[in-house]
Amino acid sequence: MSLTRGQLVPVVVAVWLGIAYGLLVFIGAYTVELYFTVSFIGFLVIGFLFAPPQTSRRWWSLFRLVTVPALLVFGYIVFQRIMAVVQG
């Protein structure tokens, strides 16, 4: 049984999320913000690696749809960290 690219992406993302969680817990650095950041960076890398040659694929549209709100949350986390550093 062979998986198509669109079927393989959710599997790879799920594996990455599990590895990221396990690694952060193992090293004692787990926070929701750090987990989200590490997961989001992995999500973007997976998206880059599995990007289809034609952007008309349905799964790619869904992938991009998830990326936009996640990017907003990531921006908020970065903003909060910058403000914490600036304020002291």
**Range name among 1-5, 31-35, 52-56 with the lowest pLDDT average:** 52-56
Q: Indicate whether 7 pLDDT > 90.
A: no
d(CA 70, CA 88): 27
Residue 9 neighbours by CB under 8 Å, 6+ apart: 46, 47, 50, 59, 63
Domain residue limits, the chain: 5-87
Q: Provide mean pLDDT across the span 51-67.
A: 79
Alpha helices in 1-88 (DSSP H): 5-26, 32-50, 58-87
Residue 51: strand, helix, or coil: coil
Sorting pLDDT into bands at 50, 70 and 90, what band is 56? low
pLDDT of residue 44: 92
pTM beyond 0.75, yes or no = yes
Q: What is the mean pLDDT of the chain?
A: 89
